[in-house]
């Protein structure tokens, strides 16, 4: 995949961002859009509380100013800053408010093409009556076995509606070995929650699964596929290969966390 031209890159950034917001809303996140930032809030899952920053936003700056001046605890979660759009005032308040850059969140996009063969791997839609089994495998895959009831509630509405979010099982030799989700909106497909159960976790299985699901999406008319990846410390690469497909970075955001939340 060659480097994207300016207009195509801009379109991909917009489409993937809006697609991601739809996925977040699907399980109860409240989205508040400001002039240059988006606030994400969830009543039960605090790990999803965040600010997504695309420039200096006055509402966010006011909240950071109060936090800095009054030394009040920061409860808004992590602050993600798009590295392609300057936000010097937000950056200054983050430094004064004892925030640290703890990593990067990168959005990778690829042009999906049908594969020559997916070997022994298949993807299968999860039916509404299979919600419990899907949620159990999701919980196991992300080491959340004690949260199975919560995960079942989290995805209940999407299973029962015509949501853009769809649920899938991954199969190997006819055996369910993992799960994932897709979000279909803005002419892109987001890949989410991909996980394999413990006994099937390996790089070989992961490569086979990605190759299979990208090929499946391409064969069903979905051409642009993306996923988001968080990395700690080092700057992420511009391109990565997964299952034989080259994914190109279209957005890199620094992840800023209040220092008192890191100990």
Quick check: 112 and 223 in contact, CB under 8 A? yes
DSSP state of 79: E
49-58, 70-79, 97-106, 121-130: segment of lowest average pLDDT = 70-79
pLDDT for res 104: 96
pLDDT for res 113: 84
Q: Sign (positive/negative) of CA torsion 141, 146, 149, 150?
A: negative
Q: Sign (positive/negative) of CA torsion 26, 29, 35, 36?
A: negative
pLDDT for res 118: 63
Quick check: 110 and 217 in contact, CB under 8 A? no
Helices within the chain (DSSP H only):
6-26, 58-70, 88-96, 131-141, 148-159, 203-219
Closest CA to 197 of 212, 176, 214: 176
28-37, 98-107, 237-246: segment of lowest average pLDDT = 237-246
Which pLDDT tens digit goes with each residue over 64-83? 888 877 677 888 999 999 99
What is the rounded CA–CA span in Å between residue 63 and residue 245? 42
Q: pLDDT higher for 184 or 149?
A: 184
Instruction: Report whether pLDDT(179) > 70.
Output: yes
13-17, 47-51, 72-76, 167-171: segment of lowest average pLDDT = 72-76
14-23, 205-214, 249-258: segment of lowest average pLDDT = 205-214
Q: Classify 156 as helix, strand or coil.
A: helix
pLDDT band for 3, please (50, 70, 90 cuts): low
For residue 86, what are the contacts with CB-CB under 8 A and spacing of at least 6? 55, 56
Domains and CATH numbers, the chain: 6-106+252-261 (no CATH), 113-222 (3.40.630.30)
pLDDT for res 1: 43
What is the rounded CA–CA span in Å between residue 106 and residue 237? 9
Quick check: 77 and 255 in contact, CB under 8 A? no
Mean pLDDT of 7-12: 70
Which pLDDT tens digit goes with each residue over 117-169? 667 899 999 998 898 899 889 988 888 878 777 777 777 767 766 789 999 99
pLDDT for res 220: 85
For residue 202, what are the contacts with CB-CB under 8 A and spacing of at least 6? none
φ and ψ of 142, to 5 deg = -105, 20
Mean pLDDT of 190-204: 92
Residue with tokens 């279909």: 184
pLDDT for res 180: 96
pLDDT for res 263: 41
Mean pLDDT of 210-221: 89
Closest CA to 81 of 69, 63, 108, 99: 99
Mean pLDDT of the chain: 87
pLDDT for res 160: 65
Closest CA to 260 of 39, 105, 71: 71
């Amino acid at each position: 995949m060659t480097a994207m031209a300016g207009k195509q890159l801009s379109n991909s950034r917009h489409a993937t961002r809006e697609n991601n917001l739809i996925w977040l809303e699907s399980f109860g996140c409240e989205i508040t859009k400001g002039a240059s930032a988006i606030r994400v809030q969830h009543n039960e899952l605090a790990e999803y509380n965040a600010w997504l920053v695309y420039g200096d936003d006055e509402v966010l700056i006011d909240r950071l100013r109060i936090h800095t001046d009054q030394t009040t605890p920061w409860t808004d979660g992590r602050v993600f800053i798009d590295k392609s759009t300057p936000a010097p005032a937000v950056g200054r308040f983050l430094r004064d408010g004892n925030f640290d850059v703890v990593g990067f969140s990168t959005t990778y996009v690829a042009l999906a093409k049908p594969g020559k063969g997916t070997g022994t791997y298949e993807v299968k839609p999860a039916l509404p009556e299979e919600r419990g089994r899907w949620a159990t495998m999701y919980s196991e895959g992300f080491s959340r076995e004690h949260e199975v009831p919560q995960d079942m509630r989290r995805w209940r509405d999407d299973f029962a509606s015509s949501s853009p979010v769809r649920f899938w099982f991954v199969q190997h030799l006819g055996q369910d070995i993992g799960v994932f989700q897709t979000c279909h909106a803005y002419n892109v497909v987001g890949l989410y929650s991909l996980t394999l159960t413990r006994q099937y976790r390996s790089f070989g299985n992961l490569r086979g699964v990605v190759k299979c699901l990208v090929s499946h999406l391409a064969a069903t008319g979905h051409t642009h596929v993306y996923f988001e990846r968080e990395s700690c410390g080092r700057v992420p690469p511009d391109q990565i290969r997964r299952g034989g497909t080259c994914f190109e970075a279209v957005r890199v955001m620094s992840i800023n966390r209040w220092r008192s939340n890191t100990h």
